[in-house]
């Protein structure tokens, strides 16, 4: 089963800023998005639910330093990325 990524205008702006600051991890970022569409529960993504003020959102790892927070709507097979950045920026 594959999922559909839904990109909001706000996320696209955040992602563009992130990639401008970190062009060296663009391939990892794109690979993460592709894997997210194919299997969001793949172990290398380290998908986990967030708590506190981010309750209801999930996070996946691009690498050890960078994350993508997202809304995971499994019933509709949709994934909506919310934010991308390092641990402190995303959380």
Q: What is the tens place of the pLDDT at every residue in 78-89?
A: 899 999 988 777
pTM, entire model = 0.88
> Domain 4-90 maps to which CATH number in 3.40.50.150, 3.20.20.10, 3.30.2310.20, 3.20.80.10?
3.30.2310.20
Confidence of residue 75 (pLDDT cuts 50, 70, 90): low
The average pLDDT across 18-47 equals: 94
Helix-helix angle 26-38:9-21, to 10 degrees: 140
pLDDT, position 74:
65
Facing residues of 87 across strands?
A: none
Determine the pLDDT at residue 28. 96
**What dihedral angle (degrees, nearest 10) is formed by the CA atoms of 55, 11, 32, 34?**
110
The predicted-structure confidence for 5-16, as pLDDT tens digits, reads as follows: 999 999 999 999
Sketch the domain layout of the chain as residue ranges: 4-90
């Amino acid at each position: 089963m594959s999922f559909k990524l839904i990109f909001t205008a706000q996320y696209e702006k955040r992602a563009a800023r992130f990639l401008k600051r970190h062009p060296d991890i663009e391939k990892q970022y794109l690979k993460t998005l592709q894997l997210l569409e194919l299997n969001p529960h793949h172990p290398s993504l380290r998908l986990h639910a967030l708590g506190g003020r981010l309750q209801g959102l999930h996070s996946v790892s691009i690498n050890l330093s960078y994350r993508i927070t997202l809304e995971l709507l499994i019933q509709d097979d949709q994934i909506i990325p919310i934010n991308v950045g390092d641990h402190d920026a995303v959380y």
